[in-house]
């Protein structure tokens, strides 16, 4: 990773100057300074205040220029119009890192954009690297250091967080604490005027204290670099993300919130899949799943044991696991024989194991887990129903009332020994998920959370978390990515066709010539303006043929009667040629071989602001829009990216031997996608490409129709 990353210094300062803190606890800067002191920060704190001699018991300095030395980190919590001058003062003093909490910049409109431009210019002049503006601070529980507005309760956590919303690194700290989720580092990136989400990801990827990374994303500016960094991290360290900018409302909110540039969901889904990032739908899942991945050993397979004291939760967990591609296999005969003495005679020892109602928690919390953890055919364990004080606290008031025991009688409350179970994940190298319908009122739940055992409040949530472990298992197993060669010059044929071409669509014939120059298989065809040449072309190609009117101005030829299929003779060709010319006397005619395929796919390229060319692949023909079964990857693509696109289609079975049809030549199909990525990067003037349909003929892909659209210069 990049040792020059500014986060190394920003997250570990020896001294901090904070401007905006006072003795008024209703001020945001004061609250942040209180949390900085309260977190146990071991470094020097230098409040700057024009009137107060002391701030929160510490000597204050009347001006930035009057500070005794340049602080390692400047923190600004002041009105936005004061930020440029103060940043200039810190630059002159010699400070090279800052956190700018203040809002009121590009998220507010044109005036704010100019103000933000000014602070980036000042920072550039003095070599200052900063987080923000419009952020809520940073958190490093190792140092410790808390520059947010909420206290931090847990130090030395394992989950790193990067968020484009300040709420998710501060307002949720108490919520996280109650659920046993402890953070290692957290960064609110704000407007990302200097340090962005990619810098943070790179830093956390190299941070030894961070075992997993959680992301809240409204938009990504450096998509290519994000992909490179994330793909390297996820080989060993899981990343969980929620993206919220794909809808109209989400994009509008993100823009006004942090000035984020959003993009369509399908492009971000492709980016995350290509990077090996696990995506979830809610911020609760970001933290719960991220924490589970950080706190537990990774999965080494897909076989999960389910132990429960109730049939419903066990069935629900097992059903969800199967839907996510995991298995709930029968235990070995040896394991079933070991389990049988602890369950009712009619109960199954196969998996899942249901104790039904069982108050001896040692069976569910120690004896059965030890047996299944030792089973070689099991890779992870989910347990539902371990409890003690929660159940008894609910039950005893009713027992006291019904039996008229009086207030002086105590009900025995045996405590379950959880230490052996807590040690099992580390000892056996297998993750453990706990499900309980109790919260902290139950002693078992409290202990599990304190010891880093993830606790979920529904069996489905526990199973989905295990599904995230399986997703990361698959990511770790990915084939090594082959180098994508970017130094191969574009083919001369493509250059001659595209360089100097007018903006707008190429005609189909020239579009296919460009594709053919990149080795993409297209139909054999001839473009002609005369009937005799059309007849000659058909003889050379062999009947039946297809005749099409070919003009870049006409994109929907079929609807205009300009496509004639299955032309089987010269007489039919003459009639078809004349019919096309009757529609438009000047239009050239394309004579093409008539292919009969057994399946249709599509490929293409689209562009999004801030992204490299995005390559699409999916079900083609008339089903393209109806079913919308397609996948996206960012260029450049390697063969592995192409194969993953194929494998992840809902209709992926159509690529295999299917109902008497030969399997599709995946290598040839993948080569088309790789070549499209190269073509798009070679010629940035291409705004979009559409290869639809790609017919499968005897298992081989052939492009039957194609569109290449060129953008205007400067766009």
Partners of 590 in the β-ladder: 527, 548
Torsion-angle region of 542 (φ positive above 0: left; ψ -120 to 50: alpha; else: beta): left
The CA distance from 350 to 357, in Å, is 18
**DSSP letter (8 states) at residue 651:** T
Can you say whether the dihedral through the CA atoms of 100, 106, 109, 112 is positive or negative?
positive
228 preceded by cis ω (within 30°)? no
User: Over 90: is that where the pLDDT of 627 sits?
Assistant: no
Report pLDDT digits (tens) over 703-715.
Answer: 999 999 999 865 5
Report pLDDT digits (tens) over 330-354.
Answer: 999 999 999 999 988 778 899 999 9
User: Over 90: is that where the pLDDT of 307 sits?
Assistant: yes
Per-residue pLDDT at 394: 77
Can you say whether the dihedral through the CA atoms of 498, 501, 506, 509 is positive or negative?
negative
Per-residue pLDDT at 107: 93
Better-scored residue on pLDDT, 270 or 348: 270
Three-class SS of residue 162? strand
**How many CB atoms neighbour CB 489 within 10 A?**
7
Query: What does R_g of the chain's alpha carbons equal in angstroms?
Result: 32
Question: For residues 291 and 465, is the Cβ–Cβ distance under 8 A?
Answer: no
Lowest model confidence (mean pLDDT) among 235-249, 323-337, 375-389 = 235-249
Question: For residues 432 and 379, is the Cβ–Cβ distance under 8 A?
Answer: no
What is the residue-wise DSSP string for 413-473? Answer: -PPP--HHHHHHHHHHT--EEEE-S--TTSHHHHHHHHTT--EESSHHHHHHHHHHHHHHH
Backbone angles phi, psi at 131, to 5 degrees: -105, 140
How many percent of the chain have pLDDT more than 70?
A: 95
Lowest model confidence (mean pLDDT) among 199-208, 359-368, 507-516 = 359-368
User: Over 70: is that where the pLDDT of 280 sits?
Assistant: yes
How many percent of the chain have pLDDT more than 90?
A: 82
Question: For residues 435 and 442, is the Cβ–Cβ distance under 8 A?
Answer: no
Partners of 341 in the β-ladder: none
Residue identified by tokens 């995506």 is: 279
User: Over 60: is that where the pLDDT of 564 sits?
Assistant: yes
Cα separation values, 353 from 320, 331, 445, Å: 16, 10, 21
User: Over 60: is that where the pLDDT of 220 sits?
Assistant: yes
Per-residue pLDDT at 396: 74
Rounded mean pLDDT of 310-315?
Answer: 92
Report pLDDT digits (tens) over 63-92.
Answer: 999 999 999 999 999 999 999 999 999 999
Per-residue pLDDT at 257: 42
Per-residue pLDDT at 390: 77
Question: For residues 101 and 135, is the Cβ–Cβ distance under 8 A?
Answer: yes
Rounded mean pLDDT of 228-248?
Answer: 90
Report pLDDT digits (tens) over 674-697.
Answer: 999 999 999 999 999 999 999 999
Q: Which band of pLDDT confidence, cut at 50, 70 and 90, is reported for residue 358?
A: low
User: Over 90: is that where the pLDDT of 515 sits?
Assistant: yes
- Strand 545-549 versus strand 525-528 pairing type: unpaired
Question: For residues 110 and 22, is the Cβ–Cβ distance under 8 A?
Answer: no
Lowest model confidence (mean pLDDT) among 98-112, 239-253, 420-434 = 239-253
The CA distance from 307 to 373, in Å, is 11
Backbone angles phi, psi at 564, to 5 degrees: -125, 115
**How many CB atoms neighbour CB 485 within 10 A?**
9
Rounded mean pLDDT of 471-488?
Answer: 84
User: Over 90: is that where the pLDDT of 393 sits?
Assistant: no
For the question of whether the overall pTM of this predicted structure is more than 0.75, the answer is yes
Per-residue pLDDT at 262: 53
Q: Which band of pLDDT confidence, cut at 50, 70 and 90, is reported for residue 395?
A: confident
Average pLDDT of the chain to the nearest whole number? 92
Cα separation values, 589 from 137, 253, 551, 552, 709, Å: 65, 50, 9, 12, 20
Q: Which band of pLDDT confidence, cut at 50, 70 and 90, is reported for residue 428?
A: very high
Per-residue pLDDT at 411: 64
Per-residue pLDDT at 254: 41
Q: What is the crossing angle of helices 570-583 and 531-541, to 10°?
A: 140
User: Over 70: is that where the pLDDT of 412 sits?
Assistant: no
Q: Which band of pLDDT confidence, cut at 50, 70 and 90, is reported for residue 359?
A: low
Full 3-state SS string of 567-627: ECCHHHHHHHHHHHHHHCCCCCEEEEECCCCCEEEEEEEECCCCCCCEEEEEECCCHHHHH
Domains, the chain: 7-294 (3.40.50.261), 296-476 (3.40.50.261)
Q: Which band of pLDDT confidence, cut at 50, 70 and 90, is reported for residue 173?
A: very high
Rounded mean pLDDT of 16-44?
Answer: 97
The CA distance from 137 to 126, in Å, is 22
Per-residue pLDDT at 485: 67
User: Over 70: is that where the pLDDT of 234 sits?
Assistant: yes
Question: For residues 218 and 262, is the Cβ–Cβ distance under 8 A?
Answer: yes
Alpha helices in 499-569 (DSSP H): 508-517, 531-541
The DSSP H or E segment spanning 337 is helix 333-339
The CA distance from 105 to 258, in Å, is 9
């Amino acid at each position: 990773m990049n040792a020059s990353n500014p986060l190394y210094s920003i997250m570990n300062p020896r001294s901090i100057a904070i401007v905006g803190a006072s003795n008024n606890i209703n001020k945001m800067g004061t609250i942040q300074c209180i949390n900085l002191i309260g977190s146990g920060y071991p470094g020097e704190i230098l409040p700057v205040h024009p009137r107060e001699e002391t701030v929160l018991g510490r000597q204050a300095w009347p001006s930035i220029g009057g500070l005794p030395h340049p602080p390692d980190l400047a923190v600004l919590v002041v009105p936005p119009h004061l930020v440029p001058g103060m940043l200039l003062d810190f630059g002159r003093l010699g400070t090279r890192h800052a956190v700018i909490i203040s809002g009121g910049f590009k998220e507010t409109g044109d005036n704010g954009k100019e103000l933000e431009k000014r602070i980036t210019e000042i920072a550039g002049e003095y070599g200052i690297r900063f987080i923000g503006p419009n952020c809520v601070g940073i958190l490093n529980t190792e140092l410790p250091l808390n520059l947010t507005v909420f206290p931090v309760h847990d130090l030395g956590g394992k989950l790193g967080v990067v968020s484009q919303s300040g709420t998710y690194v501060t307002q949720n700290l108490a919520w996280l604490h109650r659920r046993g989720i402890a953070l290692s580092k957290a960064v609110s990136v704000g407007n990302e005027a200097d340090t962005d989400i990619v810098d943070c990801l790179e830093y956390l990827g190299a941070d030894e204290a961070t075992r997993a990374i959680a992301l809240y994303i409204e938009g990504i500016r450096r998509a290519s670099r994000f992909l490179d960094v994330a793909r390297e991290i996820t080989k060993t360290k899981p990343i969980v993300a929620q993206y919220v900018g794909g809808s109209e409302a989400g994009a509008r909110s993100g823009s006004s919130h942090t000035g984020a540039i959003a993009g369509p969901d399908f492009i971000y889904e492709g980016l995350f899949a290509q990077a090996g990032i696990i995506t979830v739908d809610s911020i609760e899942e970001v933290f719960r799943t991220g924490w589970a991945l950080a706190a537990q050993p990774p999965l080494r397979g897909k076989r999960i044991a389910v132990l429960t004291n109730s049939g419903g939760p066990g069935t629900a967990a097992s059903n969800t696991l199967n839907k996510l591609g995991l298995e709930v296999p029968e235990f070995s005969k040896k394991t079933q024989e070991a389990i049988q003495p602890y369950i009712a005679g009619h109960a199954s020892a196969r998996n899942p194991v249901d104790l039904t109602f069982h108050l001896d928690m040692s069976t569910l919390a120690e004896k059965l887990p030890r047996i299944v953890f030792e089973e070689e055919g099991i890779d992870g364990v989910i347990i539902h129903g371990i409890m003690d004080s929660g159940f008894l606290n609910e039950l005893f008031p009713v027992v006291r009332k019904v039996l008229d025991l009086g207030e002086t009688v105590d009900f025995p409350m045996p405590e379950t020994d959880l230490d052996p179970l807590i040690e099992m994940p580390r000892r056996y190298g297998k993750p453990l998920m706990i499900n309980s319908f109790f919260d902290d009122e139950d002693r078992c739940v409290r202990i599990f959370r304190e010891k880093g055992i993830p606790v979920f409040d529904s069996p489905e949530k526990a199973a989905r978390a295990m599904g995230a472990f399986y997703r990361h298992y698959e990511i770790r197993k990915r084939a090594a990515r082959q180098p994508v060669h970017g130094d191969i010059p574009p083919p001369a044929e493509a250059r001659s066709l595209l360089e100097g071409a007018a903006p707008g669509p190429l005609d189909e014939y020239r579009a296919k010539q460009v594709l053919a120059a990149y080795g993409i298989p297209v139909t054999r065809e001839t473009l002609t303006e005369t009937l005799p040449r059309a007849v000659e072309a058909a003889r050379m190609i062999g009947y039946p043929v297809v005749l099409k009117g070919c003009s870049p101005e006409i994109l929907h030829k079929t609807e205009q009667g300009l496509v004639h299929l299955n032309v089987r003779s010269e007489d039919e060709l003459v009639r078809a040629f004349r019919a096309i010319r009757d529609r438009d006397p000047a239009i050239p005619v394309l004579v093409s071989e008539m292919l009969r395929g057994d399946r249709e796919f599509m490929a293409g390229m689209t562009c999004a602001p801030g992204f490299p060319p995005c390559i699409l692949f999916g079900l083609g023909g008339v089903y393209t829009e109806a079913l919308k079964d397609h996948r996206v990857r960012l260029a450049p693509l390697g063969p592995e990216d192409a194969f993953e696109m194929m494998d992840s289609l809902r209709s992926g079975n159509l690529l295999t031997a299917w109902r008497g049809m030969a399997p599709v030549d995946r290598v040839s199909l993948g080569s088309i996608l790789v070549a499209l990525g190269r073509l798009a990067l070679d010629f940035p003037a291409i705004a979009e490409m559409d290869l639809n349909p790609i017919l499968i003929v005897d298992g081989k892909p052939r492009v039957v129709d194609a569109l290449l659209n060129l953008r205007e210069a400067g766009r």
